[in-house]
Amino acid sequence: MRTLIYHLAAYCSLAILSFPLPSTSAPFGTIDFAAWPFYQHREHEFITRFALQCPNGQKSDGICFESESIDNLAGKSGKNGAIGAPDDYPGTEPAQAHCDNADFLDVPGYPQQRWQADSQLQICVNHLRRRFRQGVQATRRLLDKDDRIVTREAEIKSYCDFNHRDTLDDDPSARAKCVALEGLGRALHGIEDFYSHSNWADQADQGRPVSAVNPPGLGNTGPAPFLSLRASNNISLQIPRALTTGCFDDGEFPSGPDVGTGACLNRVLHLNLNKDHGRIDPRTGAAVADPPSRREAVAGNFQRAVAAAVADAKEQWQQFRDALRSEHGAEKGNLMVCALVRDDPIKDCRNRKIAIVVDSSGSNLDTDPRDLRIQAAVNLNSKLLTKAQITDEQLPDRVAVVDFDTSATILYPMGDPDGAKSTFTGIDSSGGTSIGSGIAAGIDEIMKDEPGSFTNRSGIVVLTDGMDQSPSYQLTQLARAKSNGIRISAGFLSPVDVPIPPKRSLSKRAIDSAIISAILQTGGTFGVISSDTAQQNFISLIAARGITDIDAPVGSTVLFSGVTVNELVGPNKPTHRFLYSTSASENISFTLNYVTYSDQSIRAVLRDVHENIDVGTVNATYGLPSRISFSAAANTDLELVVSMVGNQNASLEVIFGVGLNTNMPEKPETTTTMSTTSTNFYVTSTTIANATLTTSSNITLTTTPFISTTGGYGSITATSITSSGWYTNSTTTQSSSSSDPVYPSPTDSNSSRSVYPTFVAPSSSNGGYATYVTSKM
């Protein structure tokens, strides 16, 4: 949304205006000024609050923002917040911050061609990607070299100054949390504006003919896939031909002319397309246009725009969290997210009680002869914050160490992690397997001193290789843990190459699905570990997913080789995301399999996040593993989305496993950096060939090759051709009219190399030339 003050100032002297102007902290789109000429009700704030705030002042679950943090992100009465910063006056951001001027109507003689509209929308998306990137960059300053939250960088006792209009990078002189929220907020502003300023989600007035005043509506109900801010691709191939935003006229007033003025003359206007005005309940999301703009006069259009904006705000925040995990490592990324969403992260993002419960049964002589589970437990203990490490007002973690065989023994009662280091040597391999006893002892240690005070900030990690001798008792303890907010994670060591002695049946090595479900219901992790060496990867997995509820919500799961992660989907959770960052030349295979029988179908879709394209899809079949393979030419981020298909109203959950095999099993967790582009975006048109095209001639344009660079894209436009032509390369063939460009495939837009395209002319062509159009960011 754009500030009307800017336009009034352009035509009037502010000194003679007959109505009171809002202060510079109350611009159009964010202010609470329901009268003419603004008609605004803090729409951006309330969309963002409904999408991201914690309900009723509750503590954050790792996704929602607590009170003071959401005040800074979304704004509050008298304050625009990060989300309103692009509308601040003076200094409102230009069209690219609001996705304006990407207008197109598919009628002869329209003033702007489709490819020009695509270029304008690409400019907007690139700008929002830079803002998104700005927020990600700033978060690195939230932690010190020892991965502790830095008080000065994370505190928001005084309201943030969101004054980086002309700065698209981090500003070390400002608080890290403030810059991170500003980058995210400015990006979300443009995302939300897209749905208000475009026809993506709305409907045309069916009682009037389609025209620039009444363009067609696309009526979509979900987010636009080309608005992925983690990606670096050319979005043109993903844009529907009928999509339009509005041309923004500096002379625009709510009662202005339908046809526009100046450069917007006879174009689809922002005035006729926007759905900026309405009242939104930040608690329920209920939306009512007030007063209806011209496009809002069509019933439901304001509600559709708000619903799509809310859905995409949630999606972009999910992608922001995933970007932090990808760039900084999952464990650091989780701590950064905690610092962003919590008002007092110094106190709230650690201060955990952890019980490390280790199997000491005799079967470990076969499955773990080198006692690597014990080393994994030592490594887990080393991740905890000790008294000696704390600074300022921080509180340390506490840990208890339990070993179990036929019964449980407390090796180290709840205390400082430094004191637990020497106790792990007391773990042997002898006796039976009573996992329930180990869990019970861990719960007792967590609750004995301050029962209830560590709800949602406590966890138990179990390392075992066998089935419990009393599954019913274990289920009782898992239910007890859940009711007390204790997250349980269990690593089940099941090496495929270890012979099973006759006295131990295969059934002993199979875990009851009811136990797996109960573990997942606590918010914890259940992983099947394929080798003794992979036990360390299990520790990395649970650190990434969160040992306790305050570490990370049950959301995206970072995958590690050698560990099959069990998860569930069901009516209340229809999808789950798995993440993996590749290295160059890495070959990866993802395996999807059912853990419990179900006639409910599940599907996995693998996406290349940077290119924003699907690279593989598989439907799981019960009893048979399904695989998706991927070969990485460079470091990139992959996202595997597992979802229910078909009857999603089924009452039963589906438990499934996702495993990862790689030709680089020993590599550490890979981190990737988002592509950074500049704002120097321009379009040039240069003739690169001029030839008489004969029957079925193939003209290879090698004189001036198409140069594709990271963050840039190009197109070949056929001009002066009497019929259609085609641009081809190794991966795609697309038809082109004489006025529209044909773009290189996404595969060609993410590396620096020359491409020699071929323009294929049909027999009816009588000559002409092709135009090379390049856009660089």
Name the region of 572 (left: φ>0; alpha: ψ -120 to 50; beta: rest).
alpha
As a whole number of angstroms, the distance between CA 629 and CA 603 comes to: 15
CA–CA distances in Å: residue 386 to residues 148, 331, 333, 353: 11, 17, 20, 12
Amino acid 677: pLDDT: 45
Tens of pLDDT, residue by residue over 151-183, are: 999 999 999 999 998 889 999 999 999 999 999
Burial (CB count within 10 angstroms: exposed 0-12, middle 13-18, buried 19+), residue 514: middle
As a whole number of angstroms, the distance between CA 608 and CA 630 comes to: 10
One-letter amino acid at 422 equals S
pLDDT above 90: residue 322: yes
| Confidence tier at 732 by pLDDT (50, 70, 90) | very low
Amino acid 170: pLDDT: 94
Q: CA neighbours within 13 Å on the CB side: how many for 580?
A: 30
Tens of pLDDT, residue by residue over 651-697, are: 678 999 999 999 998 777 777 776 644 332 223 333 333 333 333 33
pTM across the whole model: 0.83
Q: In the chain, pLDDT over 90 holds for what percent of residues?
A: 60
**Range from 2-11, 35-44, 464-473 carrying the lowest mean pLDDT:** 2-11
Amino acid 434: pLDDT: 94
As a whole number of angstroms, the distance between CA 537 and CA 543 comes to: 10
Tell me the pLDDT of the chain averaged across its residues.
81
Tens of pLDDT, residue by residue over 406-451, are: 999 999 999 999 999 999 999 998 889 999 999 999 999 999 987 7
Going from the N-terminus, what domains does the chain have, and what CATH number goes with each? 40-330 (no CATH), 350-500+507-550 (3.40.50.410), 555-670 (2.60.120.380)
As a whole number of angstroms, the distance between CA 191 and CA 308 comes to: 10
CA–CA distances in Å: residue 685 to residues 116, 233, 717, 739, 770: 12, 21, 9, 13, 10
Residues contacting 508, CB < 8 A, separation 6+: 466, 467
Q: When comparing pLDDT for 360 and 648, which is higher?
A: 360
> Are residues 730 and 700 in contact, defined by beta-carbon separation less than 8 angstroms?
no
Amino acid 762: pLDDT: 37
Residues contacting 84, CB < 8 A, separation 6+: 27, 29, 30, 44, 45, 75, 185, 189
pLDDT above 50: residue 57: yes
